[in-house]
Structure 1
Amino acid sequence: MSPIKTTSYKQLDVDYLIEELTIPEKISLLAGKDFWHTVPIPRLGVPSIRVSDGPNGIRGTKFFNGVPSNCFPCGTGLAATFNKDLLVEAGELMGKEAKMKGASVILGPTCNIVRSPLGGRSFESYSEDPLLSGIAASSVVKGIQNEKVVACLKHFVCNDQEDERKNVDTLLTDRAFREVYLKPFQIAIRDVNPKALMTSYNKVNGEHVSQSTAILQDILRKEFKYDGTIMSDWFGTYSIKESLDAGLNLEMPGPTRFRQAIQTLHAVQANQISESVIDENVRYVLNLVNEGLKAEIPDDVVESANEDPAAGELLRKVGDESIVLLKNEGNILPLSKSAVKGQEKIAVIGPNVKAAQDSGGGSASLAARYKITPWEGIKNKIAEGGNTVTLDYALGAFLDRNLPDVGSILIAEDGEAGIDARFYKHPPGYKGDRFLLETYKLSTSQIFLSDFKSERLEPNDILFYADLTGTFVPDETAEYEFGASCLGTAQVFVDDVLVADNKTKQTKGDAFFLGMGTREERGSIQLEKGKSYNVRVEFGSAPTYTLPDGPVEAGGVYFGIRIKSPAEVEINKAVALAKTVDKVVIVAGLSKEWESEGFDRPDMEIPGYTNQLIEEIVKVNPNVIVVNQSGSPVTFPWLDKVPALVHAWFGGNELGNTIADVLFGDHNPSGKLSMTFPKRLQDNPSYINFGATNGRVWYGEDVYVGYKYYDKVGLEPLFPFGYGLSYTSFKFDDLVVKSNEENVNVTVNVTNTGKLEGAEVVQIYIQAENPIVNRPVKELKDFAKVNLLAGESKSVELEFSIKEATSYWNGSKHSWQSDKDTYKVLVGTSSADIELVGTFTTHSTFNWTGV
């Protein structure tokens, strides 16, 4: 047999391989080998390549006890930077870290549309606007692929809610499909050609996307000219023949559920599936392997964390630029690090002060290499000022849906923070040797064991037990709650006293991001301040689960501890503190327990008693700055009563430092909202059509998503799309608009008229003066971020396609259409704040394909 032909990257000769591979070998390539790898063919030198989540950072191949990663700000935060070059840098860092985890394919970015504030994965996407979504995705993909790593753009398409996500039928007009939901993918394919694309779980207009010939072949392959590999979302394949005929090249994960050798070979032999269809799908899988080989990752790579300080510096820069200043009455911000007269007192209050809300939940979540809490960031900033400002803290209100992770609170046997974990073959009380399997020191009490392995267990044996232990020292004498939810069974003991029982009484709940586990069971016990207590959790894996339809994975357990205190007590403590200080910083919002893959939010409210806390504090201290952390909008019923509001998203590793940078003016805020914040949920255009009804969801707002709806009906939002304040001021003038048959060229002068260096985003919207069809009032068509010293002026020039700027989808002609008309060029700082207006004219109406 002749050797495989290679290139400088040791590329596979795909044509040669398709000739040499047997049909069973070809079929084996059409699904993953396991959760993270493609199938190798050693006989012909075809290697396996590795994929890894993701959108917020590169997890690697382990859910349990994996190598920690750097966590990036969430997708909506990345887009809020409105900084194309910075997002390329972020993508390059993702690419570098993928190689350190041995992954040549990153499962991201996510560029679905933030259709509703309630979407569980809204934080993971970029924007309500298709152009901003497409440009943000293109920038991140470009950075990833600059490192020769494959970016897998997802989830194609209309995966904009979690409710019944695997079976929901998304119903929408062809125009909305094209102009809003396909558009971000089309932009990224046109501009950077991501080498892989992941299909969504849902149906579109009656057919699952992963087996839709109309979408995957007619639109994606033929119209968009896409030549990359198409893979399913995990367990998002629903057929053998239909998915192969449609060109779903790779079923993930493995081992296959649908493309088993016997059944698929039988369908080929029966001429139900053409061998040419098999070959074509294999070609794209081998192309993906070739693209993966370009990263030149050694076969024996050992996953490692990126501890380069430059990574943290970039994450801090991205986080700084993502933060949006929404209100700043009386210039209460920035705060001073040092008191000018005497000693200034600041209280930092709220459930997110000493918690690090680095990301939303689900597959985008990961074990961050480190996390800076807002308390740590603010405390360190005060230290820079010589500690002439004093800080005090109060919790004020609980946020946790379940009891909080105590990995950083418990003390392990080595005297450091952590949890000792011992895994056994036999349960506690076993009369004989329990047979120790493995020992670990863990940094979290949220333990998901889907990929737990032990060489001392038989293959496929998922029955085992674990004792999880640590010492707890209370901060105050009080009653404390202990609790656990699980995939399996769990009991929590304090000094050998059973306190919480999730073994003999179990109730179905939504623990774990796929909603497979039990409800958290709690118990309480009185503890004394400063005394050491031994905490032990006895866990049994999935086969011990007592409820029907139990998990097939090895299981997992989440356990936590919290002081048991009535809400009014915690609020009163915070109010008493607020009375004694000059200024109050409240850090509040959501967490990954409330905003996550697997479920949608029930409403836009901040859960618990946070809003009541803020209302009570502003009664006793008018100098309140609220920092909100969430990946999508929440309501602010107290907004008129507080002078300052900062929106900080889920901020990744550096979230505490970035919040402090903005609060104290070391970074002048320049972020802009990547979606509209409505005054109330009922104002959102998707309000009456969000979520599944009898397995269907109707996108009734059509093309009027986000700001396009608010413009159309004349409804004022709380904060408009693209909005964000600065500590300085800017002026736009000298607008010049030029056009030809191909492009529109816009030049505008931007001046920093304030006293501080800062950055402003020039946003360009287009409006048809005499539309012959119902169109949005205006649509974002380009943007640029410009940094200016105090008093400095710069000329900003942007050029974009006249066809892209003026066209809409004409369903009757099945093409894009640009009408003869005069178009306004609206230049502003948000969708609602237009500073300058120019015009250009087109002289004919024409139709085109969109590429």
Structure 2
Amino acid sequence: MDYDDLIDRLGLAAKIRLLTGADMWSLPPLPEIGLERLVMSDGPIGVRGEQWSSADPSIALPSPSAMAATWDVELIRRAGLLLAQEARRKGVHVLLAPTLNLHRSPLGGRHFECFSEDPHLAGEIGAAYVEGVQEGGVATTPKHFVANDFETDRFTVDVRVSERALREVYLRPFERVVGAGAWGVMTAYNAVNGTTMTEHADLVNGVLKGEWGFDGFVVSDWTAVRTTEAAAMGGTDVAMPGPASPWGERLEAAVREGRVPESMIDDRVRRILRLAERVGALGGDRRPAPPPIDGVALAREVATRGFTLLANDGVLPLREAGTIAVIGSAAAEARVMGGGSAQVFPDRVVSPLRGLGERAEVRYALGTDPRVRLAPIARPARAEFLDGQGRVLAERALAGTEARWLGQLPPGVDGDRLKAVRLSTAYTPEVSGGHELSVAGVGAFTLTVDGGIVFDEIVEPEGGDPAAAFLSPPERRVGVPMTAGRTYELAVTHPAGMFGGMPFVSFTLGHADPTPGEEELIARAVSAAADSDVAVVVVGTTPEVESEGFDRTGLGLPGRQDELVRAVAAANPRTVVVVNAGSPVELPWAGDVAAVLLTWFPGQEAGAALADVLFGDTEPGGRLPTTWPGRLEDAPVVNVTPVDGAVAYEEEVFVGYRAWERSGRAPAYWFGHGLGYTTWSYDSIAAEGTTVSVAVTNTGARPGREVVQLYVADGADRRLAGFDVVEADPGQTVIATVFLDERAFQTWSGGWRTVRGEHTLEASHHVADPRLSIIVKI
């Protein structure tokens, strides 16, 4: 297609209009050249679409840290194809994913949305994700370019990092996905070495578009473009959202006055037209439809492949079902995804309690409830959109009591007449006593029970991150007596707000049953465990611990969960602890329980996948994509708190396991660790050029899966250079093949330099467990 001819047909105003969002999620159409509206949507575990609401459900895959725990590029490519299928079903052209930032510090609050601490693993999994989505005809925007590895002051922080560390660590995953053909990249909020990333000409124009030859489009993180000329000269192509932005008329004036070359505008338009042609929004949609994928089955498969067995005394797999005590708040209401822009609304969630209950006799006990906020009511609800006189403009059915619309109202709702939203549901309690109701949101709220007002206040925002008002708003509670079996009509009314000229609705109606108190809850859990053949305790983090918008202050499990685990383990030696967290937590009781299984944030099929693994239908296939500290104070790289507006990456390239090995301290579990239900021998290793072959044998009694990891070991410094996933029947020998790229033997010193001489390659079960080695000469 002749993009230059299309550009020549556009005036300057039309070209510049194309560089800013028409609304929260789209770029404007230009019918005069056959360009359709281009729609973007958040990911990365599903495709939300323009309606951030349970009225428009989405498949919810496991979190990116769980995806990386599979170490299975073909599986993640299939997951990408599923996401493309979901995107096309929802009319989405661009998926705002994957997140390629690294687990630099265990305190990073958004690490569940990132793949790994290791740049090679992050790059390989990220490339598979990109290839799968784009094979389905939908664009990706790997993000956040670059060094956006923590959340504290993320809008303004300046990351001070050496050129070597940038090249070898933080830029490397982006270089890999650009090589895999990514059609987009998203620039971050933060600055790098004094320059905001949306204005960073050296990294965006120089490295990304110039050195790497990236021909896609560069979109800003939402509201990250804050200047006219600096951002225009810095390489960012599209400022989102819109229509209000520092570009528009101001950028047009800058071009007409010669302060910004029009050739730069033309290059941006060319990139958008190329994107539009790739996704079928220019000159007609000619993308072939990808083959249909069963999203529920694939979500379950990815979950089991990512589940990581940290410890097991032989209790797993469960050979006899018997009676299982299922304990913990996350057992009944699993946390299947992280908070923030990664959130979607699946049309079903299988809890651990439900999944195990379908396979065995279970006894449930709450044990303790670490949640700071009350959970939404998981019952059918209704949202009514009201005008200034309280008349209903439109209604929408919801799957639960969570109302959320940002930038886009449901079809048929007149935004000019909309003044308030009323969220209501009918609730029938199972127990009598003092129940708690809550509203979570910012602004004025009126909560009624059977028409009577029980709460009528204005809730002020907290903290300095403007996204927190939407992603993690403050909560207010009120006690309400209720009688079991009686149905109550609950309703919350909230004024409809605006954000940047766009509609903004975000609030939740929460509920909690009466509680006998923590001591009694733990005692009931201990009793259930003592009377059962096996106890399964599900522990995990809460949305106040892991979410977008803030970092963590520690690695301890919230509430009294550690105490609960110890008490249950004392009552039943066959205690299995399931850890429902997106990134590391301290496990001080790990040596006192029979097994520890990490499920990450496992997606909508959590409980079904858990049953598959606990009962041995499939192995827990995961290997740690990040090192797991025993205690926060042992971690060699921790700091995420800016000093005078900056965070210095003083550790240079020594991040993750490389930092641990350099420190001389041992973590609880090393990078790459994970157990299966069989055993393996590593028999031989051979190298021919940069192709390495490793023979391994399944020495156990059942089929199994092994991730053969290859490290380049230069003295005490090990670096992951490649990996391969193999499967074998009992007694079978298979060959793992690893293809090494040139970066495995290169370092950055003003340019890439190959380190000549002899290098030791180690075939390992995990980074600190080498099984075989060979010396190669480069």
Query: What displacement does 1:315 show?
Result: 1.5
Query: What displacement does 1:161 show?
Result: 1.0
Q: Do structure 1's residue 280 and structure 2's residue 267 form an aligned pair? A: yes
Q: Do structure 1's residue 56 and structure 2's residue 45 form an aligned pair? A: yes
Question: How far does the alpha carbon of each residue in 1:156-186 deviate from its partner, in whole angstroms, 9 at most, with x for none?
Answer: 1111111111111011111111111000011
Q: Do structure 1's residue 699 and structure 2's residue 635 form an aligned pair? A: no
2:559 matched residue in structure 1: 608
Question: How far does the alpha carbon of each residue in 1:478-519 deviate from its partner, in whole angstroms, 9 at most, with x for none?
Answer: 3211111223322323334443x2x43534336999212663
Q: In terms of Rg, which structure is larger?
A: 1
Distance 1:364 1:71 in 2: 10
1:361 matched residue in structure 2: 339
Closer/same/farther in 2, CA of residues 664 and 296 from structure 1, 3 Å limit: farther
1:755 is matched with which residue: 676, 701, 704? Answer: 701
**Is contact 1:487–1:542 with CA below 8 Å preserved after alignment?**
no
Distance 2:55 2:241 in 1: 19
Query: What displacement does 1:436 show?
Result: 1.6
Closer/same/farther in 2, CA of residues 93 and 697 from structure 1, 3 Å limit: same
Closer/same/farther in 2, CA of residues 533 and 459 from structure 1, 3 Å limit: closer
Question: How far does the alpha carbon of each residue in 1:220-261 deviate from its partner, in whole angstroms, 9 at most, with x for none?
Answer: 122212121111111111211111112211111221411122
1:546 matched residue in structure 2: none
SS at match of 1:633: coil
2:760 is matched with which residue: 824, 834, 848? Answer: 824
Closer/same/farther in 2, CA of residues 700 and 24 from structure 1, 3 Å limit: same
2:736 matched residue in structure 1: 796
2:367 is matched with which residue: 375, 378, 396? Answer: 396
Query: What displacement does 1:423 show?
Result: 2.7
Query: What displacement does 1:542 show?
Result: 3.2
Q: Do structure 1's residue 764 and structure 2's residue 710 form an aligned pair? A: yes
Query: What displacement does 1:840 show?
Result: 1.0
Q: TM-score normalised to the size of structure 1? A: 0.87
Closer/same/farther in 2, CA of residues 513 and 116 from structure 1, 3 Å limit: farther
Q: Which amino acid is the alignment partner of residue 596 of structure 2? A: L
Q: Which amino acid is the alignment partner of residue 448 of structure 1? A: R
Q: Which amino acid is the alignment partner of residue 226 of structure 2? A: Y
2:319 is matched with which residue: 329, 336, 351? Answer: 336
Query: What displacement does 1:462 show?
Result: 5.0
Distance 2:414 2:317 in 1: 60
Q: Which amino acid is the alignment partner of residue 506 of structure 1? A: V
Query: What displacement does 1:819 show?
Result: 2.3
**Is contact 2:385–2:413 with CA below 8 Å preserved after alignment?**
no
Distance 1:362 1:504 in 2: 25
2:234 is matched with which residue: 238, 242, 246? Answer: 246
1:38 matched residue in structure 2: 27
**Is contact 2:35–2:282 with CA below 8 Å preserved after alignment?**
no
1:7 matched residue in structure 2: none
Distance 1:132 1:36 in 2: 30
Closer/same/farther in 2, CA of residues 239 and 462 from structure 1, 3 Å limit: farther
SS at match of 1:674: coil
Question: How far does the alpha carbon of each residue in 1:126-152 deviate from its partner, in whole angstroms, 9 at most, with x for none?
Answer: 000000000001111111111122121
Distance 1:84 1:44 in 2: 39
Question: How far does the alpha carbon of each residue in 1:529-588 deviate from its partner, in whole angstroms, 9 at most, with x for none?
Answer: 333333232333338xxxxx9997433321211124222221122122222112100011
Q: How does 1:221-370 map to 2 (within 5 A)?
A: 221-261=209-249, 263-293=250-280, 310-329=294-313, 331-336=314-319, 338=321, 344-370=322-348
Distance 1:308 1:591 in 2: 35
Distance 2:384 2:414 in 1: 18
Query: What displacement does 1:821 show?
Result: 2.5
1:425 is matched with which residue: 387, 404, 412? Answer: 387
Q: Do structure 1's residue 685 and structure 2's residue 636 form an aligned pair? A: yes
Distance 2:531 2:501 in 1: 52
Closer/same/farther in 2, CA of residues 485 and 580 from structure 1, 3 Å limit: same
SS at match of 2:330: coil
Q: Which amino acid is the alignment partner of residue 726 of structure 2? A: V
Question: How far does the alpha carbon of each residue in 1:250-279 deviate from its partner, in whole angstroms, 9 at most, with x for none?
Answer: 111221411122x22221222111122221
Q: Which amino acid is the alignment partner of residue 393 of structure 2? A: L
Query: What displacement does 1:753 show?
Result: 0.3
* More displaced 10-residue stretch of structure 1: 689-698 or 576-585: 689-698
Closer/same/farther in 2, CA of residues 760 and 294 from structure 1, 3 Å limit: farther
Distance 1:337 1:403 in 2: 36
Closer/same/farther in 2, CA of residues 61 and 542 from structure 1, 3 Å limit: closer
Distance 2:458 2:774 in 1: 69
Closer/same/farther in 2, CA of residues 648 and 65 from structure 1, 3 Å limit: closer
2:165 matched residue in structure 1: 176
SS at match of 1:778: strand
Closer/same/farther in 2, CA of residues 55 and 635 from structure 1, 3 Å limit: same
2:178 matched residue in structure 1: 189
Distance 1:93 1:296 in 2: 25
1:213 matched residue in structure 2: 201
2:459 is matched with which residue: 506, 515, 520? Answer: 506
Q: How does 1:591-630 map to 2 (within 5 A)?
A: 591-630=542-581
Q: How does 1:706-721 map to 2 (within 5 A)?
A: 706-721=656-671
Closer/same/farther in 2, CA of residues 461 and 451 from structure 1, 3 Å limit: farther
Distance 2:415 2:491 in 1: 28
Distance 2:426 2:29 in 1: 47
SS at match of 1:690: coil
Query: What displacement does 1:71 show?
Result: 0.8
Q: Do structure 1's residue 19 and structure 2's residue 2 form an aligned pair? A: no
Query: What displacement does 1:392 show?
Result: 0.5
2:717 is matched with which residue: 753, 756, 777? Answer: 777
**Is contact 1:484–1:558 with CA below 8 Å preserved after alignment?**
yes
**Is contact 2:408–2:502 with CA below 8 Å preserved after alignment?**
no
Query: What displacement does 1:51 show?
Result: 1.5
Structure 2 residues without counterparts, runs of 5 or longer: none
Q: Do structure 1's residue 806 and structure 2's residue 745 form an aligned pair? A: yes
1:846 matched residue in structure 2: none
Distance 1:297 1:679 in 2: 56
Closer/same/farther in 2, CA of residues 17 and 516 from structure 1, 3 Å limit: same
**Is contact 1:202–1:208 with CA below 8 Å preserved after alignment?**
yes
* More displaced 10-residue stretch of structure 1: 609-618 or 628-637: 609-618
Closer/same/farther in 2, CA of residues 692 and 296 from structure 1, 3 Å limit: farther
**Is contact 2:693–2:736 with CA below 8 Å preserved after alignment?**
yes
Distance 1:43 1:128 in 2: 47
Q: Which amino acid is the alignment partner of residue 201 of structure 1? A: Y
Q: Which amino acid is the alignment partner of residue 704 of structure 2? A: G
1:125 is matched with which residue: 92, 114, 132? Answer: 114
Distance 2:199 2:434 in 1: 55
Closer/same/farther in 2, CA of residues 832 and 294 from structure 1, 3 Å limit: farther
